């Protein structure tokens, strides 16, 4: 039984730059946490700190009760899959998979053979055991790296963007292979990626990082529907959330969101949370899927929740269509997604869309914190 506890983790590089700034999170036993963020946000550094490949400046990393800060990587008993796979080119597939077993010792010859064969079978590379990496495709090499990680019983599994060098078709299969590895081992796993959709697909929970800081950690659903700040709201979800500058306006007991482009009534349940911001500038976020064609909206569409704009372009998507619109005044562009196919004849016309105000996001312009979920 191991969990990963990361507490107040700080990494300052030799050049004084802070790569990871006061990051704290836990990965429970058997949990798969995806660490996601734009490049340079410190996600890979965090992973390398957990692996022990970089020394910690301050803070704590514990595996279960064991403080591992000062423990060498080889003694932490972690397994890691690298972005470039780090499959040794001069060793056969068999030798590559057996590398960790040989290096650690304590395995009999039969045990090594058995484990290597089992790991290779799991990732369908058992016919390739005698080959050298040079003779393998990128996808096969990646599976060798997975097999090497699975052959040994590590306490913690780490992945550093393992899919970024694969083409789209292989990526899907590789995701399944990684899930297979995780289900087999059921150990705490940290998976670094810059691709939010990959993180959503794989992670039990997702940790979003920006500029060395952990912005939010939670399930994909949490991050998507209750982002605590503007960055997370914008980073999670594709197409990205639509953002409008606006302010909160009180009219009797009702509070309106006024963005110029549209003016909409806030549901009563939100009024208490936003009361202090009435009259102040805010940023308003609306997910593309929360704008509906009036006739098909799951709520009543009225003057109080409608945004009007010209439809510029329609792009068919796997689940329906993506509409690109711009507002009548100020030409603010925004995006809406529908579960239906819009007829092309609508292009160039003015379209009113109903906003699902229950799912709206409001952010403080200064602090970028969410007024509703922050």
Distance, in Å, from the CA atom of 163 to the CA atom of 338, rounded to the nearest integer, reads: 30
- Nearest approach in angstroms of CB 204 to another protein is 23
In the bound state with another protein, the residue whose beta carbon lies nearer, of 83 and 321, is: 83
- The 3-class SS string of 63-76 reads ECCEECCCCCHHHH
In the bound state with another protein, the residue whose beta carbon lies nearer, of 191 and 244, is: 191
* Residue 190 bridge partners (DSSP): 33, 158
Distances (CA, A) of 113 to 89, 95, 109, 139: 20, 10, 6, 23
- Nearest approach in angstroms of CB 15 to another protein is 12
- Nearest approach in angstroms of CB 53 to another protein is 5
In the bound state with another protein, the residue whose beta carbon lies nearer, of 151 and 217, is: 151
In the bound state with another protein, the residue whose beta carbon lies nearer, of 133 and 203, is: 133
DSSP-based three-state secondary structure for 245? strand
Distance, in Å, from the CA atom of 210 to the CA atom of 21, rounded to the nearest integer, reads: 10
Chain centroid to Cα 135, Å, comes to 33
- Nearest approach in angstroms of CB 152 to another protein is 7
Footprint of another protein (CB under 8 A) = 51-53, 72-74, 78-80, 82-84, 86, 88-91, 99-100, 103-104, 132-134, 148, 152
Give the number of other Cβ atoms within 10 Å of residue 340's Cβ: 10
C-alpha closest to that of 205 among 231, 227, 186, 223: 223
- Nearest approach in angstroms of CB 58 to another protein is 22
User: Residue 123 corresponds to which tokens in the numbers above?
Assistant: 């990732």
In the bound state with another protein, the residue whose beta carbon lies nearer, of 56 and 325, is: 56
Distance, in Å, from the CA atom of 283 to the CA atom of 263, rounded to the nearest integer, reads: 13
Helix-helix angle 93-104:138-151, to 10 degrees: 20
- Nearest approach in angstroms of CB 336 to another protein is 43
User: Residue 29 corresponds to which tokens in the numbers above?
Assistant: 């036993």
In the bound state with another protein, the residue whose beta carbon lies nearer, of 132 and 308, is: 132
C-alpha closest to that of 227 among 210, 245, 212: 210
- Nearest approach in angstroms of CB 198 to another protein is 20
C-alpha closest to that of 57 among 44, 47, 70: 70
In the bound state with another protein, the residue whose beta carbon lies nearer, of 52 and 212, is: 52
């Amino acid at each position: 039984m191991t969990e990963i506890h990361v507490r107040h983790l700080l990494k300052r590089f030799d050049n004084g730059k802070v790569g990871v700034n006061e990051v704290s999170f836990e990965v429970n036993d058997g949990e798969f946490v995806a660490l996601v963020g734009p490049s340079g946000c410190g996600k890979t550094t965090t992973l390398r700190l957990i692996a022990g490949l970089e020394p910690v400046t301050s803070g704590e990393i514990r595996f279960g009760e064991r403080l591992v800060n000062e423990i060498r990587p080889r003694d932490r008993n972690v397994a890691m899959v690298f972005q470039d796979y780090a499959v040794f080119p001069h060793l056969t597939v068999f030798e590559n998979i057996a590398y960790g077993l040989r290096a650690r010792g304590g395995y009999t010859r039969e045990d090594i053979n058995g484990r290597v064969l089992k790991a290779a079978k799991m990732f369908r590379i058992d016919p390739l055991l005698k080959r050298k990496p040079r003779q393998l495709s990128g996808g096969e090499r990646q599976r060798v790296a997975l097999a090497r990680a699975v052959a040994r019983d590590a306490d913690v599994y780490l992945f550093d963007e393992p899919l970024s060098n694969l083409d789209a078709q292989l990526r899907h299969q590789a995701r399944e292979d990684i899930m297979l590895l995780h289900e087999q081992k059921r150990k705490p796993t940290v998976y670094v990626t810059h691709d939010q959709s990959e993180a959503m697909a794989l992670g039990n929970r997702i940790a979003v990082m920006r500029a060395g800081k952990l912005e939010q950690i939670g399930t994909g659903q949490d991050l998507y529907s209750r982002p605590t700040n503007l960055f997370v709201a914008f980073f999670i979800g594709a197409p990205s959330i639509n953002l409008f500058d606006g302010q909160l306006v009180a009219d009797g007991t009702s509070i309106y969101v006024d963005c110029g482009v549209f003016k909409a009534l806030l549901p009563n349940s939100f009024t208490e949370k936003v009361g202090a911001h009435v009259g102040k500038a805010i940023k308003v976020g609306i997910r593309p899927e929360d704008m509906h064609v009036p006739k098909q909206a799951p709520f009543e569409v009225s003057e109080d929740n409608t945004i009007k704009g010209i439809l510029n372009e329609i792009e068919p998507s796997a689940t329906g269509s993506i509409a690109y619109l711009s507002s009548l005044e100020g030409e603010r562009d925004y995006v809406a997604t529908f579960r239906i196919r819009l007829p092309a004849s609508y292009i160039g016309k003015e379209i009113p869309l109903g906003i699902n105000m229950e799912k709206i996001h409001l952010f403080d312009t200064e602090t970028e914190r969410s007024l509703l979920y922050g």
